[in-house]
Amino acid sequence: MSELTKKSLTEIANLIKKKEIKSEEVTQSFIKNIEKDKKLNSFITKCSELALKKAKDFDKKPKLNNLLPGIPIAVKDLFCTNGVKTTAGSKMLENFIPNYESTITNNLWNEGAFLLGKLNCDEYAMGSSNETSYFGNVMNPIAENTVPGGSSGGSASALTANLTPATIGTDTGGSIRQPASFTGTVGLKPTYGLCSRWGIVAFASSLDQAGPMTKSVEDCALMLEAMAGFDEKDSTSINKKKENYSKNLTDKIKGLKIGIPKEYRVEGMPKEIDKLWENGKKILKDSGAEIIDISLPNTKYALPAYYIVAPAEASSNLARYDGVKYGFRSSKGNNLIEMYENTRSEGFGDEVKRRILIGTYVLSSGYYDAYYLKAQKVRQLIKNDFDQAFKKVDTILTPSTPSSAFKIGEKKDDPISMYLNDIFTVPVNLAGIPAISIPAGHDNNKFPLGLQLIAKPLDEQKLLNIAFAVEKKINFKQMLNRWWEK
Amino acid sequence: MSIDKDKIKHISKLARISLDSKKTDTLAKDLSSIFKFIEQLNELNTDKTEPLSSILNEPLRSRKDVVNDGKIREKILENSPQKNEEFFVVPKVIE
């Protein structure tokens, strides 16, 4: 493996800017690593030739003032890429080639980056272990037969294995932060509306948000800066001035108030997680921040509310896959209705069907008030909890996940235990606020664990600054034996 | 609440997903346990709470109704499973 691919995104970008290396050299190095992806299965589509051509074009006429000059980037296969297959991890879209580009990927390309490949994910981003993908499980580089988390599992795995210098995922209930925690990487879910949803295959529209996944907080600031911005094509996009997150990044956090919510100390949580949480508190205190105990009383109701809201929106969004205009069509069926029913039966996997049926049920005549309306009310209570907390504190510190990465197959047949993975991440999506997961250390199995920082809407800079301060003192080191290359 | 096979058959009809009887059984079991989990929400009194319909403070923006791309009929049709000249083709709907 080339030493170059071990470097952070910021380091690589600076080397290119100083003309010490060429984009072609960088791209070749990553392509070489990607050739050994077979056991990890993190890529669905490799764009090596296309990327090399772009790298050579860049080197001929380098634009060095961009944020991501000549940087190859692989992205979650949920972002539509013009002329490149976009599958959402589903048989339904196995041969779908968009003729347009998502706003987020377009923003990256406008800053000098180009596409390196499309990364595996849970089918339609529905899953917490990357086991629901039609294109097979993704393995976690930390250990064989271990899940990388999900749904952005391919993104987390490729990033950790140095197959891409940085990546992007989407987070509907934890799909960026949980895999980041499972792989010892940094993942940020921005404020709802900061990053455009246009051109992203939709799961639950009121919760979906794209965000960066990187090796360091500094890289995370750089990527977010490139991604964020107003987009007329997304009616929920926030119209505000662009911020220079990377330039304004500082570890000076003296005097900031950090809340510790007692409800996140859940029963059965491994002691190691508690220990890392305590360590996080200590680091923040040593950095001059003030630690304050807070309460978010409705936390335990977030997950049940999520499992009404998200499937309801999914059942509506996924109604478009009918085998008529694009995507898979079943050859069975004697009339239009049978064609629809067989197409959707053969084209969707089990988890997607499960969620479409939950969603259809909670929205069906006679049940709307009991479920969907009730969940929207609970969502208000959860948002109120955060609003109250942010009157007293600047950010909230919690563990990212209630466990470290688990074995493939371990939770596959028990949907509830799988859903519980997202217990600490889901409240943030329901409230539409930003949160970041950063590596906090390892458990006894030497598996990484993450800490989550949560802030009020549009407070990404503060979130990044605090994460930057904590990251410096934690000094997390990956422990990989690169088993997949053997 | 437990969800029986008849209920699964009804909602799968609404969702336009055909299911064999084995799948129907599994889904009845799965959804029953999921709804049991969801129904924790009934512990909460929400009589005086307004439902949250948007987490943005401002109303949704609307844009002008103008064509800003267009003329891509061929490109769109390229992704269709079955087409005939400039039309999507579906199984016969009128006898």
With bands split at pLDDT 50, 70 and 90, how would you rate the model's confidence at B2?
confident
Chain B residues in contact with A206 (beta carbon < 8 A): 54-55
Q: Looking at residue A22, what is its pLDDT?
A: 98
Give the domain extent around B15: 5-43
Regions of chain A where pLDDT drops below 70: 1
CATH number at residue B25: 1.10.20
- Residue B28: inside a domain: yes
For chain B, how many structural domains are there in total? 1
| Identity of the residue in B18, B55, B81 whose CB atom sits nearest the CB atom of A345 | B18
B68-87 exposure pattern, b = at least 16 Cβ within 10 A, e = fewer: eeeeeeeeebebbbeeeeee
- Residue B85: inside a domain: no
| A97/B8 touch (CB, cutoff 8 Å), yes or no | no
- Residue B13: inside a domain: yes
| A235/B61 touch (CB, cutoff 8 Å), yes or no | yes
**Residue B75 pLDDT greater than 70, yes or no:** yes
In percent, how much of chain B has pLDDT > 90?
66
- Residue B35: inside a domain: yes
Q: Nearest Cα to A359, choosing from A319, A300, A323?
A: A319
Q: Looking at residue A183, what is its pLDDT?
A: 98
Interface test with B, best of A81, A301, A357 (most B CBs within 10 A): A357
- Residue B59: inside a domain: no
**Residue B72 pLDDT greater than 90, yes or no:** no
Show the tokens assigned to A290: 């003030």
- C-beta separation of A405 from A140 below 8 A: yes
| Identity of the residue in B49, B78, B79 whose CB atom sits nearest the CB atom of A377 | B49
ipTM confidence: 0.95
B32, closest residue in chain A (CA to CA): A358
Which position among A175, A181, A237, A404 bears the catalytic label? A175
CA distance B71 to chain A (A): 12
| A99/B31 touch (CB, cutoff 8 Å), yes or no | no
Q: Does A477 qualify as catalytic in the annotation?
A: no
- Residue B20: inside a domain: yes
Residues contacting A245, CB < 8 A, separation 6+: A221, A222, A224, A225, A228, A460, A461, A464
Q: Nearest Cα to A91, choosing from A128, A127, A132, A129?
A: A132
- Residue B93: inside a domain: no
A239, closest residue in chain B (CA to CA): B61
Chain B residues in contact with A314 (beta carbon < 8 A): none
